[in-house]
Structure 1
Amino acid sequence: MEPDTAPTPATPPRALRVALAVVAWFNLVSALIGMIGLTAFGGMGIPLEWIEGTVFDSYFWPGIILGVVVGGSQALALVATHLRYRLAWGLHAAAGLVMLSWIFIEIALMLVWSPLHGVYFATGLVQTVLAVLALGAWPRPFLGRAGV
């Protein structure tokens, strides 16, 4: 059997790895707090009118989805990073996209915007961009030309 000779991606710089971990932990903790608030505390004072016209009659299931999908994607990315799996950076990109999607869907369904939507949109965007950079998408040199 021939050894695996496929090139391995370079490990991203430490600052990039730390930044991704910080954003992912922030998003994970926020999703879990949101899940607890929505499920155990009846929506944390958010008016039920905000989900009128949706399939939900309470904030219980949105809270479960927030914790499992948004929080779960963040946890998966963090575990993969900790275990040094090659797919960790792709999982961070996916987790950032899940956060962005959650915010888009939440605003579209509730037709309400709050400053927290802006915060979590920003964290999802930052996580996605950092993950793409960790995947090696940053050209070196940045303004270099291909084939010259």
Structure 2
Amino acid sequence: MTRAPRWVAIGLRVVAGFSLVSALIGMAGLTIGGGMGLPHEWIDNSVFDSYAWPGVILGVVVGGAQALALVAQHRRYALAAGLHAAAGLVMMIWIFVEIAIMLVWSPLHGVYFVAGLAQVVLAVLALGAWPHPFLARAPR
């Protein structure tokens, strides 16, 4: 990852860690926990017969993207910021598709969408998308 301010790197770790833990807990609840008490009617008109496959997708795709970004950042790979941006986009797409399938909105959808958005913004900042100094004016 490029040399970003310390607060950006910490923010990426916090948001990705939160998203990873949440995805793993969600996967466990949807697969082992039998849907965490979510009404089956929410997925009646979808391709899913149960919450098991959405749980697997949540853990493997969403959680996996977060894990890859965290490992890359920990190992200081140049690709880390790009992986964080991708992981944030995966989170936002997951929330959008989930709402589209279930036709139900919860405040948690907002929390996780904002988490994905924050991760993308922090990743873009880590890639150097800010002027130096921040309030400098361009010459005429």
Percent of residue pairs identical: 72
1:5 alignment partner in structure 2: none
CA contact (8 A) 2:2 2:78 kept: no
- 1:132 CA displacement: 0.4
Q: Could you tell me how far apart the structure 2 residues matched to 1:15 and 1:55 are?
A: 42
Could you tell me which runs of 5 or more consecutive residues in structure 1 were left unpaired when the two chains were aligned.
Answer: 1-8
1:141 to 127, 133, 138: 133
Deviation track 1:41-87 (CA, whole Å, cap 9, x = no partner) reads 11000001001111001000000000000000000000000111000
- Equivalent residue number for residue 107 of structure 1: 99
Separation (CA, whole Å) in 1 of partners of 2:93 and 2:101: 12
1:87 corresponds to 2:93: no
- Computed over aligned residues only, the root mean square deviation of the Cα atoms, in angstroms, reads 1.3
Higher Cα Rg, which structure: 1
Give the superposition deviation at 1:145: 4.6
Correspondence 1:16-27 to 2 at 5 A: 16-27=8-19
Taking the TM superposition and a 5 Å limit, the aligned residue runs for 1:3-18 are 10-18=2-10
1:121 is aligned with what amino acid? F
Distance in 1 (CA, whole Å) between partners of 2:43 and 2:96 is: 14
- Listed as ranges, the gaps of 5+ residues in structure 2 are none
Alignment of 1:123-142 (within 5 A): 123-142=115-134
Query: Displacement, 1:142?
Result: 3.4
> What displacement does 1:141 show?
3.2
Q: How many residues align?
A: 140
Q: Provide the C-alpha distance between the structure 2 equivalents of 1:99 and 1:17, rounded to a whole number of angstroms.
A: 19
- Secondary structure of 1:34's aligned partner: helix
How high is the TM-score relative to the length of structure 1? Answer: 0.90
TM-score (norm 2): 0.95
Q: CA deviation at 1:146?
A: 4.5
Higher relative contact order (CA closer than 8 Å, sequence separation 6+)? 2
